[in-house]
Amino acid sequence: MINKRISQFLRPRLTSVFLTRLIIVALSAYLIFGHLLLPIRLAGGSMEPTYHDGSFTFCFRYKFKLSSPQVGEVVTIRFSGRRNMLLKRIIAVAGDKVAFVDGRLFVNDQFVEEPYLVYESDWNMEPKYVKENFVYVVGDNRSMPINNHKHGMASIHRLMGGPIF
Partner 1 sequence: MKKILLVSVILIGLVAGYFYMQDDQEEQIKQQFAHLAELVTKPEVVNIIAASQRLKELQRLFSTNCMVQIEEISQKGNYIPEEMASMVVGGWRATKELKLTFEDITFEALTETTATTVVTGRLTVAFSNGTIDTYVKEIRSDLIKVDGDWLFASFVEVAVLL
Return residues touching partner 1 (CB under 8 A).
Answer: 43-44, 77, 79-84, 86, 131, 134, 137, 150-154, 158
Nearer CB in complex with partner 1: 21/150? 150
Beta strands in the chain (DSSP E): 37-41, 56-60, 74-78, 85-93, 97-101, 104-107, 110-111, 125-129, 134-138, 152-155, 159-163
Nearer to partner 1, 79 or 119 (CB): 79
Choice between 15 and 148, CB closer to partner 1 = 148
Nearer to partner 1, 66 or 152 (CB): 152
Least separation, in Å, of the C-beta of 76 and partner 1?
Answer: 12
**Residue 120 C-beta: closest distance to partner 1, Å:** 23
Q: Closest separation between CB of residue 8 and partner 1, Å?
A: 41
